Amino acid sequence: MTTAAQYSATHGYPIEAELLAYAKSSESGVSRAGRTREVAALRAVGYRDASLGRIYEGHLDGGQLVGRYGTPAQRAAAERDVDLGRLFGVWNTQDDDGVTIASAGDGYVLRGSKTWASGARAVTRAVVTATYADGGVQMCLVPLERVATVIDTSAW
């Protein structure tokens, strides 16, 4: 698995560890560094590179969603992931079929696709929505090293 720092060194997305850590969020979804520092970091990264800013904003948003809606265990795991340099992303755009979720043994299986998955080659923790057979929707935090994915850039 590639950390954000390793990907940054190889692919030119320089996100310093301090900036990655801003994704550590309280239960209210506010960055533990505070909103003022978070906004300053977003401005600095966006000024440096707009594409990087888009990926960085997804990282912060992912941490905030886990902070606000995750269980205490999920929040603790997300903080460890941030400490390990794992990059979060929020992928909510989808084609007509989207992503479905179904129970499978003691876990779940997700099937389908998301479109416009910013940072797909770097993100290791994707927040996605998935639909149950009964129409209910679940927000999922997907550890991408545990799933088979295909990145299709043909539309670009």
Q: What would the pLDDT profile of 38-65 be if each residue is shown by its tens digit?
A: 888 888 888 888 888 888 899 999 999 9
Q: What's the number of domains the chain is made of? A: 1
pLDDT at residue 96 greater than cutoff 60: yes
More confident: 131 or 41: 131
**d(C-alpha 5, C-alpha 69), whole Å:** 27
pTM reported for the whole predicted model: 0.82
User: Region 111-134: what's the mean pLDDT?
Assistant: 90
pLDDT at residue 32 greater than cutoff 70: yes
Question: Which pLDDT score is estimated for 62?
Answer: 93
Question: Which pLDDT score is estimated for 11?
Answer: 53
The answer to the question of residue 72 being in a domain is yes
Question: Which pLDDT score is estimated for 104?
Answer: 93
The answer to the question of residue 87 being in a domain is yes
Question: Which pLDDT score is estimated for 143?
Answer: 93
The answer to the question of residue 152 being in a domain is no
Question: Which pLDDT score is estimated for 5?
Answer: 56
**d(C-alpha 131, C-alpha 5), whole Å:** 33
More confident: 93 or 156: 93
Q: Which of 38, 78, 61 shows the shortest CA–CA distance to 118?
A: 61
The answer to the question of residue 151 being in a domain is no
**d(C-alpha 85, C-alpha 111), whole Å:** 27
CB atoms under 10 Å from CB of 150, counted, come to: 6
User: Region 114-120: what's the mean pLDDT?
Assistant: 84
The answer to the question of residue 68 being in a domain is yes
Tokens of 129: 């929505």
pLDDT at residue 98 greater than cutoff 60: yes
Q: Is 114 helix (H, G, I), strand (E, B) or coil?
A: coil
Tokens of 79: 């903080």
Query: What dihedral angle (degrees, nearest 10) is formed by the CA atoms of 30, 31, 34, 37?
Result: -130
pLDDT at residue 15 greater than cutoff 80: no
The answer to the question of residue 156 being in a domain is no
The answer to the question of residue 154 being in a domain is no
Question: Which pLDDT score is estimated for 80?
Answer: 92
Supply the range of the domain harboring residue 46.
Answer: 4-146
**d(C-alpha 125, C-alpha 104), whole Å:** 21
